Amino acid sequence: MKQLLLDVLAAPAPSLENYVAGPNVEALATLRALEPGRAVYLWGPAGCGRTHLLRALSDRPGAVYLDSHSPVSAYRRAAQPEESDVRPALIAIDDLHLLDEPRLACVFSLYNRWRETSATDIALSLIVAGERAPGQLEIREDLRTRLGWDLVFRLEVLSDAEKTDALIRQAASRGLQLAPEVVNWILTHYERDMRQLAALLDALDRYSLAAKRPITLPLLRAMLAEQPQPSTIQSYSSLS
């Protein structure tokens, strides 16, 4: 069963469908209906799903995802494409607060390009994300102003009650019933990112089928004891 766990514990790819919106329903609805020529700035603390949403939006033809690890050359191509370059229809820039000056300068130019083309047939969608509201970012003033040119949404982290509800609903959609002690243990010990929680739920489902046992806390303990990569679990040294 160890190979089984290796196969299923990887989190599913980010998508708008597997993003648990919680209090962020309006932001999610806006992104679902996003049209060329719109710009959106998303901000919120770690764990609110900024990267999930940007990865989901950029996982489509004609989209580009950039973050602090992307080369400056990629930022320059996005901001000032050559005539021969394929022009992406959507550009997503993650972790704005981590970008250095050369990359921020490209983001500034990219906003100018977005505005100049927003009413043309080569309009693009621009999605930028950071951990703070525009006015709280320690970046150049002219770029800070541009972040508010169109739509701005604050993303909130899901509460434990919302995560519990989402976990129970996801289990129910698979025809599974999770005992309260199983849900409580998962939220206490396991990585609380919803994609990771969904991956664990998939693993539990397959493991219970392979073991021909219902999902219980002892079954969860047995599965995690066979996990060959314990670093993916926050803590399960204490199973009490």
Predicted pLDDT at 2: 42
Distance CA 126, CA 152 (A): 12
Q: How many of the other CB atoms lie within 10 Å of CB of 46?
A: 10
pTM of the predicted model, to two decimals? 0.78
**Phi and psi, residue 136, nearest 5°:** -100, -5
Predicted pLDDT at 178: 87
Contact 90, 64 (CB under 8 A): yes
- Taking only Cα atoms into account, the Rg of the chain, rounded to an integer number of angstroms, comes to 21
Contact 170, 177 (CB under 8 A): no
Task: Classify 193 in phi/psi space as left (phi over 0), alpha (psi -120 to 50) or beta.
Answer: beta
Q: The tokens of 112 are what?
A: 């100018």
Predicted pLDDT at 8: 45
CATH number of 22-154: 3.40.50.300
3-class DSSP assignment, residue 8:
helix
Per-domain residue ranges of the chain: 2-10+159-232, 22-154
**Amino acid at site 113:** R
Q: Which residues contact 151 (CB under 8 A, 6 or more apart)?
A: 30, 38, 39, 40, 41
Indicate the length of the chain as a whole number. Answer: 240
3-class DSSP assignment, residue 20:
coil
Q: What is the pLDDT along the chain (240 residues), one digit of tens a residue?
A: 444 444 445 556 889 988 889 999 999 999 999 999 999 999 999 889 999 999 999 998 889 999 999 999 999 999 988 877 788 999 999 999 999 999 999 999 999 999 999 999 999 999 999 999 999 999 999 999 999 999 999 999 988 888 888 888 878 877 888 888 998 888 887 766 676 777 788 888 888 888 899 899 999 888 888 776 544 433 333 333
E-assigned strand segments in 61-187:
63-66, 90-93, 125-130, 151-154
